[in-house]
């Protein structure tokens, strides 16, 4: 599965998803708890209170009934007052019940109870008034008793019904509370399971999506270590590893290029060392065999051939040694203020026999007031020698070579340029020529040399804090310029 999103985004969004699941379950639990609370409050403050009040009313009613009976039996005013107090207390409890009643049925029952009690009180008042004014006939008293007992019986029945309804409501709410707590526990359990499953699934997915490209990268690294470059790695996501793979591919390309260069270079270098060695061997065996004993001219030619071959070998080996020292950073610089002119002149003199042979005109253009330069003169001589030897090598007969220097006062620099009228370098090769082992082929035959001369030049100039660059026009000539702090 390839999502083109970064590892950071993947991790953050996965954990956010898990947090959302946990949060939702938390919110659901909080909502359930508030419902739970509401029900408990209803049970505690309404239903239980209703049951309690209904039971108290029943008891109060029986007390009122007892006081009323005692009054008619004893005719004592105390019982009358007692009845009145109980009646008032009963009315108080009924009005409290009325505020708690919340169903039609409860309200209807209460209304019936209230009406019965009003009738009960009125009958009692009427009968009590007659007690004062004389004897009450026995049949009326019996009728009164029957009616009052009926009222007390009905009211008691209604109060019990009211208590039963409240008790049912309380039972109902308790069942709801139980169901709610079960639902709550289920929700917490389910969300926990979902969060754990999600976490495991997301972790596996994330780890896989990172692990798979990394193991491909690891396999590829092992293959490259074995020297097997193969096809470039194609990793689409995550972006971090895609970039790593792209950098890895670039590194492989470069390594492949270097590998090829190494192979080419070894064969070139063997050729470079072998050519003078073969010439030396051939010339020395001719001398050994006594050929040309009668021709001193020819013998001298052979000796020159041997000397030149040796010099070429020494030059190649010295370059290799110099370059490896520079690469390892163990090239000590002995910096002193010195004039440029003498060292350039020495070089021109050294190369003048070759220049004469090729009829190349070598000129010097250095102003007499050129300031002294802080440099390691020996190393700068190597630089000039390399540039001059290249110029001579790549300039055909009858050409021109100029070594010019100028002082850039503003920048406190001295610029030295070696120009020739040689074959030139293509635009694409201008930077590459300073790379180690680089030899630019002009397609007109094998290029001689170790490919290290300009790399050595660059090392030395950089060590002096200067800069070196090349300008060239194909077929017309090249100019190699370096600048040094004056
Ligand atoms: P080498 O030590 O083998 O001469 P260099 O590093 O000095 O190697 O030069 C590298 C390459 O740069 C040469 O092979 C040649 O192609 C190119 N080059 C250097 N100097 C010149 C020049 N003056 N004219 C044309 N090509 C040059």
- Find out whether the beta carbon of 478 lies less than 6 Å from any atom of ligand 1: yes
Split at pLDDT 50, 70, 90, the class of 441 is low
The predicted pLDDT at position 1 comes to 46
- State yes or no: pLDDT of 410 exceeds 80: no
The predicted pLDDT at position 247 comes to 95
- Least trusted range by pLDDT, from 193-202, 223-232, 437-446: 437-446
- State yes or no: pLDDT of 2 exceeds 60: no
Atom of ligand 1 nearest to the CA of 442: 16
Ligand 1 centroid to Cα of residue 440, in Å, is: 7
Atom of ligand 1 nearest to the CA of 456: 6
pLDDT digits (tens, 9 = 90+) for 453-482: 899 999 999 999 999 999 999 989 999 999
Q: Give 321 or 248, the one with higher predicted confidence.
A: 248
Atom of ligand 1 nearest to the CA of 391: 23
C-beta neighbour count of 368 within 10 angstroms: 5
Ligand 1 centroid to Cα of residue 478, in Å, is: 10
- Find out whether the beta carbon of 450 lies less than 6 Å from any atom of ligand 1: yes
Ligand 1, atom 20, residue with closest C-alpha? 390
Ligand 1, atom 12, residue with closest C-alpha? 433
> Does 238 sit behind a cis peptide bond, omega within 30 degrees of 0 on the bond before it?
yes
Q: What is the mean pLDDT of residues 7-36?
A: 88
- State yes or no: pLDDT of 485 exceeds 90: no
Atom of ligand 1 nearest to the CA of 448: 3
Beta bridge partners of 477: 473
The predicted pLDDT at position 18 comes to 87
Ligand 1 centroid to Cα of residue 450, in Å, is: 9
Beta bridge partners of 407: 414
- Find out whether the beta carbon of 420 lies less than 6 Å from any atom of ligand 1: yes
Using a pLDDT cut of 70, give the percent of the chain over it: 97
Q: Give 421 or 442, the one with higher predicted confidence.
A: 421
- Find out whether the beta carbon of 459 lies less than 6 Å from any atom of ligand 1: no
Ligand 1, atom 7, residue with closest C-alpha? 453
Ligand 1, atom 14, residue with closest C-alpha? 439
- State yes or no: pLDDT of 305 exceeds 70: yes
- Find out whether the beta carbon of 433 lies less than 6 Å from any atom of ligand 1: yes
- Find out whether the beta carbon of 156 lies less than 6 Å from any atom of ligand 1: no
3-class DSSP state for residue 372? coil
- Find out whether the beta carbon of 425 lies less than 6 Å from any atom of ligand 1: yes
Ligand 1, atom 11, residue with closest C-alpha? 439
SS (H, E, C) the chain: CCCCCCHHHHHHHHHHHHHHHHHHHHHHHHHHHHHHHHHHHHHHHHHHHHHHHHHHHHHHHHHHHHHHHHHHHHCCHHHHHHHHHHHHHHHHHHHHHHHHCCCHHHHHHHHHHHHHHHHHHHHHHHHHHHHHHCCCCHHHHHHHHHHHHHHHHHHHHHHHHHHHHHHHHHHHHHHHHHHHHHHHHHHHHHHHHHHHHHHHHHHHHHHHHHHHHHHHHHHHHHHHHCCCCCCCCCCCCCHHHHHHHHHHHHHHHHHHHHHHHHHHHHHHHHHHHHHHHHHHHHHHHHHHCCCCCCCHHHHHHHHHHHHHHHHHHHHHHHHHHHHHHHHCCCCCCCCEEECCHHHHHHHHHHHHHHHHHCCCEEEEECCCCCCCEEECHHHHHHHHHHHHHHHHHHCCCCCEEEEEEEEECCCCEEEEEEEECCCCCCHHHCCHHHCCCCCCCCCCCCCCCCCCHHHHHHHHHHHCCCEEEEEEECCCEEEEEEEEEC
- State yes or no: pLDDT of 449 exceeds 80: no
| Joined tokens for residue 93 | 């409890």
Split at pLDDT 50, 70, 90, the class of 80 is very high
The predicted pLDDT at position 36 comes to 87
Ligand 1, atom 25, residue with closest C-alpha? 424
Distance CA 36, CA 33 (A): 5
The predicted pLDDT at position 448 comes to 65
| Joined tokens for residue 54 | 């209904």
Distances in Å between the Cα of 17 and the Cα atoms of 12, 22, 120 are 9, 9, 70
Ligand 1 centroid to Cα of residue 69, in Å, is: 140
- Least trusted range by pLDDT, from 127-131, 307-311, 449-453: 449-453
220-224 long-range Cβ contacts below 8 angstroms, 24+ apart: 220/248, 221/248, 224/252, 224/255
Q: What is the mean pLDDT of residues 271-280?
A: 89
Ligand 1 pocket test: pick from 385, 387, 389, 433 the residue with the most ligand atoms within 8 Å of its Cβ: 433
Mean pLDDT in the chain?
A: 90
- Find out whether the beta carbon of 49 lies less than 6 Å from any atom of ligand 1: no
Using a pLDDT cut of 90, give the percent of the chain over it: 57
Q: What is the mean pLDDT of residues 272-287?
A: 91
- State yes or no: pLDDT of 88 exceeds 70: yes
Ligand 1 centroid to Cα of residue 379, in Å, is: 19
The predicted pLDDT at position 349 comes to 94
- Find out whether the beta carbon of 390 lies less than 6 Å from any atom of ligand 1: yes
Ligand 1 centroid to Cα of residue 393, in Å, is: 8
Ligand 1, atom 19, residue with closest C-alpha? 390
Ligand 1 centroid to Cα of residue 454, in Å, is: 7
The predicted pLDDT at position 310 comes to 95
Q: Give 346 or 295, the one with higher predicted confidence.
A: 346
| Polymer length of the chain | 486
Ligand 1, atom 16, residue with closest C-alpha? 440
- Least trusted range by pLDDT, from 136-150, 161-175, 393-407, 428-442: 428-442
- Find out whether the beta carbon of 451 lies less than 6 Å from any atom of ligand 1: yes
- Find out whether the beta carbon of 477 lies less than 6 Å from any atom of ligand 1: no
The predicted pLDDT at position 280 comes to 94
């Amino acid at each position: 599965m390839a999502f083109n999103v970064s590892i950071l985004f993947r991790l953050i969004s996965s954990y956010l998803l898990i947090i959302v699941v946990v949060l939702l379950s938390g919110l659901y639990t909080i909502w359930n708890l508030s419902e739970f609370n509401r029900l408990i409050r209803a049970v505690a403050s309404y239903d239980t209170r209703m049951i309690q009040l209904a039971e108290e009313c029943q008891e109060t009613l029986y007390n009122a009934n007892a006081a009323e009976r005692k009054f008619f039996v004893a005719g004592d005013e105390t019982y009358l007052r007692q009845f009145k107090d109980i009646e008032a207390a009963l009315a108080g409890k009924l009005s409290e019940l009325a505020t708690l009643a919340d169903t039609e049925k409860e309200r209807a029952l209460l209304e019936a109870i209230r009406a019965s009690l009003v009738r009960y009180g009125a009958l009692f008042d009427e009968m009590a008034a007659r007690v004062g004014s004389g004897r009450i006939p026995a049949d009326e008293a019996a009728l009164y008793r029957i009616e009052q007992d009926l009222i007390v019986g009905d009211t008691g029945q209604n109060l019990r019904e009211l208590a039963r309804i409240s008790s049912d409501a309380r039972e109902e709410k308790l069942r709801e509370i139980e169901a709610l707590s079960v639902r709550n526990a289920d929700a917490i359990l389910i969300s926990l399971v979902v969060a754990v499953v999600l976490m495991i699934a997301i972790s596996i997915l994330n780890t896989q999506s990172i692990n798979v490209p990394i193991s491909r990268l690891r396999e590829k690294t092992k293959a490259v270590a074995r020297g097997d470059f193969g096809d470039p790695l194609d990793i689409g996501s995550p972006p971090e590893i895609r970039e790593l793979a792209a950098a890895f591919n670039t590194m492989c390309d470069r390594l492949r290029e270097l590998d090829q260069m190494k192979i080419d270079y070894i064969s070139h270098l063997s050729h470079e060392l072998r050519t003078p060695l073969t010439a030396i061997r051939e010339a020395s065996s001719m001398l050994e065999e006594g050929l040309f004993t009668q021709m001193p001219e020819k013998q001298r030619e052979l000796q020159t051939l041997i000397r030149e071959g040796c010099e070429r070998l020494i030059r190649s080996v010295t370059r290799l040694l110099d370059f490896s020292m520079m690469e390892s950073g163990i090239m000590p610089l002995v910096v002193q203020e010195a004039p440029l002119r003498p060292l350039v002149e020495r070089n021109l003199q050294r190369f003048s026999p070759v220049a004469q042979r090729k009829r190349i005109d070598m000129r010097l253009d250095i102003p007499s007031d050129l300031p002294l330069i802080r440099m390691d003169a020996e190393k700068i001589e190597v630089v000039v020698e390399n540039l001059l030897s290249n110029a001579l090598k790549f300039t055909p007969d009858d050409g021109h070579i100029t070594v010019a220097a100028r002082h850039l006062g503003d920048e406190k620099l001295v610029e030295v340029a070696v120009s020739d009228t040689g074959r030139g370098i293509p635009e694409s090769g201008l930077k590459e020529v300073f790379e180690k082992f680089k030899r630019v082929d002009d397609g007109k035959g094998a290029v001689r040399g170790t490919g290290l001369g300009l790399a050595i030049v660059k090392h030395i100039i950089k060590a002096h804090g200067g800069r070196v660059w090349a300008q060239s026009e194909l077929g017309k000539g090249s100019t190699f310029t370096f600048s040094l702090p004056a």
